Structure 1
């Protein structure tokens, strides 16, 4: 390891130690945290089941940067490259449309065997897998409704799909020895004000009851449900609102998913964590950056991300919180997007661990708000970067922006050749 990195780390460690912060212990804790990196950044949410199907459900990906993965093997190669530049061992979050099979199969008939290559790869890489039913970009979601659809036959199709997805999640967890989180999100809603708000929610509740009827081993699979405030095509009314899913999740012991982009622009999920933690069995985070609401920009180390990290650390919530990423940007190198977003999420957690929490808490309890504010501000310029550099070096990944050169080389040697090969194939 570069001795200047070690020297900077030792100096930083001494400063933090003055406030009772054991930096070596912090890095051990940080190495145990797994971030679930979403596969759909790598191919613009196309998947491999119906890859020519247009995106629906209010989802939109902009940009045409070259090198999007076109096969499961290409996507796995891109994920491997990204993970080689990110400290720690993590997970991959799959959607149902990312089947890897030559068999033609519908969403309501998918089975673990259709993901066997993903499992074998995850075992080889030492990664966990999370899962999501794909309730969008399908002819049976064209009306904008799935689990709450008024047509019983269409509704049953999506119920069967979600049931199949849970079994796949349980298979992942059993095979990999890491609990799989299977998250249900649906796009159901109305563009304009509905006459009947209750009936779709009653249908959704009944459908979810059927989806979750079979008890699965929680060591293998945990169910999560994800709300949304509004979406493109559902601006006036979303069936699966925050209130609906918070009530359902608490009543039925499901993880409640908080997506950073799924609330009003003046709301932040960092402020919801402490309240929800008192009542929910567990929390799933979808960390995104909602520029002008749910635009799913690549995660940057902004104030909200830092506050999420702080809340998880200060409230001792990491044991019951599952952290996943959810953004997609086709205007930049997709591998770089993964690296930037995941490294920033880990940085935010490190920032939380390096705060003088006990001193801040004591000042607050004593109504000494002067000390509280002074410490918070001074710690903004403490040498967090020296600790991060050491952590990256210790984990065997590039320090600071050195990872970018590797991504650029990968782009030249792999990603750009995909575009050329695809153009030749079309001819």
Structure 2
């Protein structure tokens, strides 16, 4: 049911049929009552045309179990997390498939503290769902619609965090991916004085992430070069990640942002314990760069929830993922693309340095990432032939190289990351791994041969 980041799938199929969404809503009621929670549930969504059906069906299950639901309308994930914490909601629900294309949809859940639910909590919800649990005899909940009010609250939060920051004189290009950021991101930058050139702000329910946004930074790059803006930010569908394009045309991912913010925090005395948390996907170049500055990089498995858990356990204020999820614990409890973009603007204003100057000495190793379609997801350690190929690849990469295989938590894909000093070697080795994946009967659902 739950993958790396919530539940993901196709509307009217699997867990996302109306009947099963009602069942999930009732399971959530049981989960919340067991924790002594009885406040309303906040529900926000991105711009997908299936969002209303998912929201209505899930709300039917929640209200039938006695929980009122407040529809916040189109809101970024970071806004739902913040508002859940601020307004004492029992749960924050985001209807979104994040960076995926418009035919997908998904559900993300945030606790009353504005944090992604823990794995054990998701397992409990799944068990309640499978057992058909609900809440009887608690009356009926109601649905309240209050979209503009919550957008205003979130924008006020951003203004308070960045009070005193003036972006007057900056021309900022925003690619909002026809997604959840299309209204609040341009407004947030304008309120701080920036001249905003906003693109992909005309959602039609189907065009979210279509050739734009954080997974297609080439769109913003082309517009940046044509408009001579000072900087460009590309958000994904639910706005929890951001990719940056420098005026030179260089595309900066989460590793670059962590490098810049870590040094800025260190200089300001904010980097508690001189540590930053990221995942196994982060480039070894980031690790080397931070080591030279006296900062330790702690790695977790993929998923921003694991990053946050490690940050909280170690009292770390800065963490994130290479994909552009950045968690700024000084202000927030989850990844927030708009918050991250504005924090980078603060760095530019207060240091007076360019992005290239801020990244001086940061040399990422070449990485090659590729996703392969699979029909089944057997444990990787059981794939003897593929393991042998991977061992061969490790030997050829040498001590400075890395290989990482992991299944997507939301799609039928096996993701492969190779890292080393030679791009041509990485491409050659990726082809070898691809041949092994395609030849694997276990991965292709053809038996155990």
TM bucket, shorter chain: under 0.3
More relative contact order, 1 or 2 (CA 8 Å, 6+ apart) = 1
As a proportion of its length, which structure holds more strand?
2
Q: Give the TM-score taking structure 1 as reference length.
A: 0.28
As a proportion of its length, which structure holds more helix?
1
